[in-house]
């Protein structure tokens, strides 16, 4: 730890309220990326970030894409031509807020709520990812306020389409490869081990999305006149979906497990030694019995085993009361979390074949492809990782846990493939933050420790 860091940390502590006010400003902007009605909110969030970073002395720009803009910002420490160059990534877009009626307060009116002595910042995006990206921005601010410089060279890429698949990001990275080149990427979009224990995420599951549309009769039919004789696409779809898993929770698509590897013994041992209670993890969300592959621990089920899930089903009459109808079509939205060396494209093809093999007479099936990204394994032997882990240990007085993550952050793979750089995933979210759900929150202590942690990590990487 250099002598430079103590005054920076003090400055963060005394300025926490103003840091929070700035986060609130960003959170008030309604930047829901997946809904075209909020395009103006996405641009406004990008403009707010540009203005904020310019105010810190970054050179920043809001860059148009075919979708929502990307903010790019650069800071070169004066007289330090050989400084390490980090690329920071975050996303300013958020998930939709529905169901709105389940929120205790309006989603875009951030509030600080005291829950049994713990302060929560409550709003859509409080954690994912506005609160998290602001931990890095505020850490830069503190260094600049105290030292009029940063310990490293910083480029930031803050995108607005993460929550809808980042379809325009790869072309953007390709078109701006030289401008975005750096030594290592830093990403703040993951979680801690628990409220007191920091973590570096070293495994991320991949994600594959497909929509299946089964059509039977050419129009919705009276179920009295045609029922019994007409093929019902909801029943057809249901049967296909129920074939996806056996009674032990194993996915039945041929070849699905190709490339799935057993955990290396050392990793298994590390995970076995983590203080993790399956019943508490499930109990927090109203469940009690692990529903994944039989014979696997819950941590394996969510970190190192693949899934094939039905995220939504649409079909037939869903309004009030009854309507006696045989629908013309039924749709399911499916996503698979992938691990190891599973090939997303091969699995997509195998999934489609699995469905087609079960298509009865008089039915048609169509597919809509959504994103496809493979799983990620971070190199745990880099000096960047050990320096960051040491900095986190100083902040929390506990070793950082190297953990897996059931979620997906496709940009990690893009950074490696397009820019040739590895990522360091450090985040301060907690499992009970209700990300993507009503009443999303970020602990004030996550925000505060997050800012202090990034200040230390930047100092440690210098």
Please tell me the distance from the alpha carbon of residue 174 to that of residue 96, in angstroms, as a whole number. 29
Q: Which residue is nearest to ligand BES (CB)?
A: 407
Binding segment for ligand BES (CB under 6 A), chosen from 159-167, 377-385, 386-394, 437-445, is 159-167
Distances (CA, A) of 166 to 162, 209, 294: 5, 13, 34
Q: Judged by CB under 5 A, which of 128, 161, 300, 440 binds Mn ion?
A: 128
Q: Judged by CB under 6 A, which of 409, 426, 430, 444 binds ligand BES?
A: 409
Query: Both tokens of residue 202?
Result: 């070293």
Radius of gyration of the chain (CA): 24
Q: Cβ of 231: how many Cβ atoms within 10 Å?
A: 16
Binding segment for Mn ion (CB under 5 A), chosen from 75-83, 101-109, 111-119, 120-128, is 120-128
Binding segment for ligand BES (CB under 6 A), chosen from 245-253, 276-284, 353-361, 403-411, is 403-411
Residue ranges of E strands in 139-294: 153-159, 184-187, 199-204, 206-215, 221-222
Please tell me the distance from the alpha carbon of residue 222 to that of residue 201, in angstroms, as a whole number. 54
Q: Judged by CB under 6 A, which of 67, 90, 151, 165 binds ligand BES?
A: 165
When asked if residue 93 is in the footprint of ligand BES (CB under 6 A), the reply is no
Residue pointed to by tokens 């203005």? 51
Please tell me the distance from the alpha carbon of residue 225 to that of residue 180, in angstroms, as a whole number. 64
Residue count, binding to ligand BES (CB under 6 A):
14
Beta strand 401-405 with 364-373: parallel, antiparallel or unpaired? unpaired
Among residues 334, 130, 125, 343, the alpha carbon closest in space to that of 244 is found at 334
Q: Judged by CB under 5 A, which of 30, 138, 159, 189 binds Mn ion?
A: 189
Which residues does residue 115 pair with via DSSP β-bridges, in sequence order? 118
When asked if residue 443 is in the footprint of ligand BES (CB under 6 A), the reply is no
Query: Both tokens of residue 305?
Result: 């085993």
The answer to whether the beta carbons of residues 27 and 120 sit under 8 Å apart is no
Q: Judged by CB under 6 A, which of 7, 371, 421, 439 binds ligand BES?
A: 371
When asked if residue 403 is in the footprint of ligand BES (CB under 6 A), the reply is no
Among residues 96, 87, 47, 86, the alpha carbon closest in space to that of 70 is found at 47
Q: Judged by CB under 6 A, which of 168, 190, 331, 453 binds ligand BES?
A: 190
Nearest distance from C-beta of residue 165 to ligand BES, angstroms: 5
When asked if residue 433 is in the footprint of Mn ion (CB under 5 A), the reply is no
The Cα diameter of the chain in Å comes to 83
Q: Judged by CB under 6 A, which of 87, 363, 389, 405 binds ligand BES?
A: 405
Nearest distance from C-beta of residue 345 to ligand BES, angstroms: 17
In this complex, which beta carbon is closest to Mn ion, that of residue 130 or of residue 245?
130
Binding segment for Mn ion (CB under 5 A), chosen from 38-46, 106-114, 127-135, 423-431, is 127-135
Catalog residues that contact Mn ion under the rule CB under 5 A. 128-129, 189
Catalog residues that contact ligand BES under the rule CB under 6 A. 128-129, 162-163, 165, 189-191, 207, 371, 405, 407-409
């Amino acid at each position: 730890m250099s002598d430079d860091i103590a005054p920076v940390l003090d400055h963060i502590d005394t300025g926490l309220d103003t840091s929070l006010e700035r986060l609130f400003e960003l959170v008030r902007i309604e930047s829901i990326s997946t809904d075209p009605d909020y395009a103006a909110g996405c641009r406004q969030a990008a403009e707010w970030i540009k203005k904020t970073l310019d105010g810190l002395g970054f050179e920043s720009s809001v860059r148009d894409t075919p979708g929502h803009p990307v903010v790019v910002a650069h800071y070169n420490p004066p007289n330090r031509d050989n400084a390490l160059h980090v690329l920071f990534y975050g996303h300013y877009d958020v998930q939709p807020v529905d169901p709105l009626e389940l929120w205790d307060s309006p989603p875009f009116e951030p509030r600080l709520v005291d829950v049994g002595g713990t302060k929560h910042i409550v709003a859509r995006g409080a954690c994912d990812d506005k609160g998290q990206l602001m931990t890095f921005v505020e850490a830069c601010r503190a260094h600049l306020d105290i030292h009029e410089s940063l310990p490293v060279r910083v480029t930031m890429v803050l995108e607005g389409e993460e929550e809808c698949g980042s379809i325009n990001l790869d072309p953007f990275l390709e078109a701006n490869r030289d401008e975005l080149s750096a030594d290592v990427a830093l990403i703040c979009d993951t979680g801690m081990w628990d409220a007191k224990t920091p973590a570096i995420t070293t495994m991320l599951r991949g994600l594959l999305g497909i929509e299946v549309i089964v059509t039977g009769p050419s129009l919705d039919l009276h179920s009295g006149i045609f029922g019994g004789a007409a093929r019902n696409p909801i029943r057809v779809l249901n049967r296909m979906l129920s074939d996806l898993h056996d009674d032990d929770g194993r996915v039945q698509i041929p070849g699905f497990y190709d490339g799935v590897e057993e955990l290396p013994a050392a990793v298994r041992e590390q995970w076995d030694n983590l203080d993790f209670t399956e019943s508490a993890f499930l109990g927090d969300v109203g469940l009690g019995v692990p529903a994944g592959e039989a014979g696997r621990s819950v941590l394996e089920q969510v970190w190192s085993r693949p899934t094939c899930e039905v995220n939504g089903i649409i079909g037939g009459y869903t309004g009030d009361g009854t309507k006696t109808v045989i629908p013309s079509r039924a749709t399911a939205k499916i996503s698979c979390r992938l691990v190891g060396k599973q090939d997303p494209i091969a699995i997509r093809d195998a999934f489609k074949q699995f469905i087609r093999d079960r298509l009865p007479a008089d039915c048609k099936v169509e597919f809509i492809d959504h994103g496809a990204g493979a799983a990620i394994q971070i190199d745990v032997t880099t000096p960047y990782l050990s320096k960051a882990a040491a900095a986190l240990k100083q902040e929390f007085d506990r070793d950082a846990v190297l953990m897996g993550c059931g979620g997906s952050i496709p940009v990690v793979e893009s950074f490696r493939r397009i820019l040739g750089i590895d990522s360091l995933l450090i985040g301060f979210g907690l499992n009970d933050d209700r990300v993507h759900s009503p009443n999303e929150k970020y602990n004030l202590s996550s925000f505060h420790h997050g800012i202090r942690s990034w200040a230390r990590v930047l100092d440690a990487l210098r």
